Amino acid sequence: MGACVIPNQCEISVRDGVNQESNEFPKRAPDQATAVGDRPARSPDTVSKSASYPDATTGRVGMRMSQWIQRSLVLATAVGTSAVLGATVALFTPASVNLIPDQPLQNLSVLDLWRKGVHYPITRPVNILVMGVDEPLDEGVGDPMDGRSDTMLLVRLDPESHTISVLSIPRDTQVDIPLQGVTKVNHANAMGGARMAADVVSANLNNIEIDRYVRVNTEAFRQLVDLVGGVEVFVPYDMQYTDLTQGLEIDLQQGQQVLNGDQAEQFVRFRNDGYGDIGRVQRQQQLIRALRDRLTSPSFLPRVPQAVDLLQSYIDTNLTVEEMLALVDFGLDLTSEDFRMVMLPGRFSSPDEFIASYWLMDINGRDQVLADYFDVRASGLANRFDRQTVQDLRIAVQNASGEPQIATQVVNYLYDQGFDHVYVVQDWPLPQSQTQIIVQRGDYSGATSLGTVLGVGKVVAASTGDLESDLTIRVGEDWLDHSPAEQLDNWR
């Protein structure tokens, strides 16, 4: 038995008659299945018995956990998009926290828990698979959590590096599902539930260990956005599209605006932009940060009980009570710089390769992301991937300064510094004061080095830049103030 994730709490009774002998994010108990909230538990016969992923385990949360504990669930699972805004963004939500080492959770009233808080630390890195599940078109048919995963995020909470890393896995990623063959990764949950989904993700990501899962449906996402008063995002262009598969009518206008729940769903589900599922992933990451801003606002705290009531019917997870509290506590002192997002590197398939449209993983890029963000390397291939120097990276330059020709000036400057793979992309329509260096394919150290060369800018760990780039520079107004006047004159 390994060391406890939550020290001094290896003998905690979660509910009457159920004891948790170890809180180390234990292995699956194949014959047990319990769901969080008011929905019934999944039958173990409905998932693959050959999988090695932890399904429900002894000591999981009962159907009627206390509201404060459910509050922790809200804070620990409000990250995903289109159905989840995941298991981490809301970890930044402030709360009062006191260590209560000797009081079993069930002996404290809801009010006591609300006032006092409960504190558990995480002692080792934890990987959580977060899935946003499509709603079935025919209501009342089957388990609502057994649909295809519209959103799939692998979240790592690492107390050693003091970071949260989120890997967005495009729903069209090509994988091989046992007994099904080659298909898209979003089919895995529908074919075998959370266990199969985790097995498939692990097998395709260098056998990474997945400790827990969270599944949420789209209704929770829409209502949560409404509850926090909407989310402020920049819609880069008009979006008009009808999603026949989900009965969704999309109609958004370009510009900076606050989106309600229905509009936020439209924003992240829009596909008719030439980028398909990958454009959706980028907007999901944009919305994750916007929702985080709302959840960290002091004005949100009085609404937590409403969020609890709202979400409890829409969440399925095998996190224990103590684990939820530990995850919440971990995020309390993290900053936005400690929160890193990246998309699984790859490319679109071509029609002459496959009839269906797939996102084909870039094996070298995948291995680098897993090594840098998840501390996982392919077995026997510890340093197999080729790490490029910053001068070898493909760098897109996007003007967001409001001044014409600035992108070309930056490209010329980088050419002078020895960068050969630099190119201009279409201007960003919303002027911004600060330059951003966007880590499109996960090379955070390369972005940091590029920032040193530029002398301005903030590294943004998200895959929201140009899809063809390794790094995207979104040039802000600070470049105008930083650049020597004689250089600007020469470039002009």
Each residue's pLDDT tens digit, 41-56: 333 333 333 333 333 3
Q: What count of Cα atoms within 13 Å lies in the side-chain half-sphere of residue 258?
A: 8
Residues 145 and 272 occupy one common structural domain: yes
Residues 236 and 335 occupy one common structural domain: yes
**Is 348 part of a structural domain of the chain?**
no
| Cα 473 to Cα 435: distance, rounded to the nearest angstrom | 7
Q: Which region among 23-27, 81-85, 125-129, 421-425 has the lowest average model confidence (pLDDT)?
A: 81-85
Q: Above 50 in pLDDT, residue 35? A: no
Residues 276 and 421 occupy one common structural domain: no
Point out the domain boundary residue: 304, 320, 343: 343
Q: Which region among 29-38, 219-228, 386-395 has the lowest average model confidence (pLDDT)?
A: 29-38
Q: Above 60 in pLDDT, residue 297? A: yes
Residues 145 and 253 occupy one common structural domain: yes
**Is 458 part of a structural domain of the chain?**
yes
Using 50, 70 and 90 to split pLDDT, how confident is the model at 174?
Answer: very high
pLDDT score for 41 = 36
Residues 402 and 465 occupy one common structural domain: yes
To the nearest 10 degrees (0 to 180), the angle between helices 261-269 and 276-295 is 150
Residues 396 and 333 occupy one common structural domain: no
- Positive/negative CA dihedral, 447, 448, 453, 458: positive
**Is 296 part of a structural domain of the chain?**
yes
| Cα 271 to Cα 279: distance, rounded to the nearest angstrom | 7
Using 50, 70 and 90 to split pLDDT, how confident is the model at 274?
Answer: confident
| Contact (Cβ atoms closer than 8 angstroms) between residue 320 and residue 58 | no
Residues 459 and 325 occupy one common structural domain: no
Residues 398 and 296 occupy one common structural domain: no
Q: Which domain holds residue 280?
A: 12-343
Look over the chain and give the mean of its residue pLDDT values, rounded to a whole number: 74
Q: Which region among 50-64, 216-230, 251-265 has the lowest average model confidence (pLDDT)?
A: 50-64
Q: Above 70 in pLDDT, residue 100? A: no
pLDDT in tens, 352-378: 999 999 999 999 999 999 999 999 987
This prediction's pTM: 0.75
- Positive/negative CA dihedral, 383, 388, 390, 396: negative
Using 50, 70 and 90 to split pLDDT, how confident is the model at 246?
Answer: low
Domain count along the chain: 2
Residue 455 belongs to domain with CATH number? 3.30.70.2390
Greatest mean pLDDT among 38-47, 75-84, 296-305 lies in: 296-305
pLDDT score for 110 = 34
**Is 355 part of a structural domain of the chain?**
no
| Contact (Cβ atoms closer than 8 angstroms) between residue 208 and residue 319 | no
pLDDT in tens, 426-462: 999 999 999 999 999 999 999 999 999 999 999 999 9
